Amino acid sequence: MGRFRQLLGLEESATVTEARENAAAANHQAELLAESVADLERMLEDRGWKRLSAAGEHQFSRQGLREASEVARVMAVANPLIKRGLGIRQAYVWGQGVGISARATGDEGTQDVNAVVQAFLDDPGNRAALTGDQAQEENERALGTDGNVFIACFTNPVTGFVQARTIPFDEVTDVILNPDDRDDPWFYERTWTEQRVDVRTARMVTTERTAYYPALTYRPAQRVRSIDGHPVMWDAPVQHVSANRLDGWKFGIGDAYAALPFARLYRDFLADWATLVKSLSQFAWKATAGNGSSSQKMRAALARRPQGDTIPANENNVGATAALGPNVTLEAIPKTGATIDSESGRPLAAMVAAALGVPVTTLLADPGQTGARAVAETLNLPTRLEMTQRRSLWENALRAILTYVITQSVKAKGGPLQGAVTRDPFTGREVLTLAGDTDATIEFDWPPLDEVPVQVVVDAIAKADTTKTLPPVVIAKLLLKAFNVKDADEIIDELTDDDGNWLDPYKQAGDALGDAATAAFRRGQDPAAVLRGGDE
């Protein structure tokens, strides 16, 4: 009968039943595995780790980068280690300032390119957004938290003057790259909320806007007016400065990202250490009584003791006294075995310092113990090289912006410079040629990161001057740099004529005094009195 039911399809064979049971077991194991993975993910979230979603296998998604920057910004304000680490980095890079000038200063019949450069650098709006001390600090800290700084160059088409403004990282949603070259950005997509006052209704109007900004190096011959119905801001190209960007990434990531988990752990360690010390301070003495009645008397006596931070002293000012019976013992609680060493958390702080690229002794503002300062001294060379590289990153960005400033001064009808802008046939990029064989080179003068005494530098400059191989202008620039004089270019302008020739201040003073003596002689006065500084 069973065989007959199998033939009719009313009953499963043993093989089919076994296969069905194996499939059910496999599904059950898969469900258990999925639950285990979900449990692991929940454990990571319970520990306070924010998982960043990734786009494919190559880079963090835009939302993941936004979340990372938000956490880093909060920690840069609230966490002492992150705050000091980012402050040290920006002090290394911008703390001593930088001298920026164009090589062409209008001498020998060439155009005054340096005047155009200095006008851009000294503009109040540009100083507030890019070239001023506060702007440099804010932008370097933005690289530490966001890993990206976007500088839009708003250009006046008539005069060619450029105003630099930064775009918040949260507003840049995507980077459109050259489809044939991922290292060649074309456009930056920006989405932001604009608020303005309607003059007719006197109410605040909020508008969601989207626009595309071309990259600073992307100036095609044919330019579209809009992309997907959104305008293209051709008069405001963007220079993108990014840090810690891997190959193929569109965006960078902040310096503080790798330090965040260890900064949290170090904060928790110090909180636990403070709790331990506080708990140990609650119990200083242990009283032991021989019987029950003695214990009750001891508790009553301790309850009557004045409560407070200190024990009142007796009339002899030698501290509090205790009168104990023969069966009562009072002794201090030993601290043997209690771990109260705060230096045990130093490796966590060292991980924060390693992530930020600064010495741990500098990060903690404490030389530490057991030769920690000597260990930190070995990090000076790597630290200097890393900060020098960050300086070079900013130098390249500023050089690209200043080259654009000079180019627009030539292209604008009312621009101050003359020249020609052609297009390279191979790359398609604009090539600038100034009239009169004027050099468009821009020079950056960064102070050394090494702590060299000023006297040593001045002595070296004085010895170099005795060789008579360097022009006086170069010696003056070196001396101004040694004394860290800001706006040294203005002083150099006062020491040179319109053609860039050196004006010796001592010779000028002597010539003026000789002219005054000659004039006195012609008037019938004693020229010696003039030379002596007399009134005759």
The string of pLDDT tens digits covering residues 460-508 is 888 888 888 888 878 888 888 777 776 677 777 777 776 667 776 655 5
The secondary element (H helix, E strand) that includes residue 206 is strand 203-214
Which residues lie closer than 8 Å to 171 by C-beta, 6 or more apart? 190, 191, 192
Residue 319 lies in a domain: yes
In a domain, 470, yes or no: no
Tell me: do 304 and 375 sit in the same domain: no
In a domain, 425, yes or no: no
CA distance 473 to 499: 13
- For 405-505, strand residue ranges (E) read 419-423, 430-434, 442-445
Q: Indicate the helix (H) or strand (E) that contains 19.
A: helix 14-46
Residues 163 and 230 in one domain: yes
Q: pTM for this one?
A: 0.70
Contact 162, 408 (CB under 8 A): yes
- Do 175 and 240 have their domain in common? yes
77 located within any domain: yes
* Structural domain count, the chain: 3
Taking residue 129's Cβ as centre, other Cβ atoms within 10 Å add up to 19
Residues 266 and 291 in one domain: no
Pick the last residue of a domain from 373, 388, 417.
Answer: 417
What's the CA gap between 270 and 274, in Å, rounded?
6
Q: 136 and 247: one domain? A: yes
Q: Determine the Cα–Cα distance for residues 529 and 335; give it in Å rounded to an integer.
A: 88
* Whether residue 221 sits in one domain with residue 270: yes
In a domain, 146, yes or no: yes
How deeply is 3 buried, as exposed, middle or buried, from its count of CB atoms within 10 A (0-12, 13-18, 19+)? exposed
Residues 145 and 245 in one domain: yes
Q: pLDDT tens digits, residue range 360-415?
A: 888 887 655 544 444 444 457 788 889 999 999 999 999 999 999 999 999 999 99
Asked whether residue 269 falls in the same domain as residue 391, the answer is: yes
Range of the domain at 259: 60-283+347-417
Residues with pLDDT less than 70, the chain: 1-58, 108-109, 280-328, 330-340, 366-379, 486-487, 498-500, 504-522, 524, 526-536
pLDDT of residue 48: 45
Asked if 104 and 227 sit in the same domain, the reply is yes
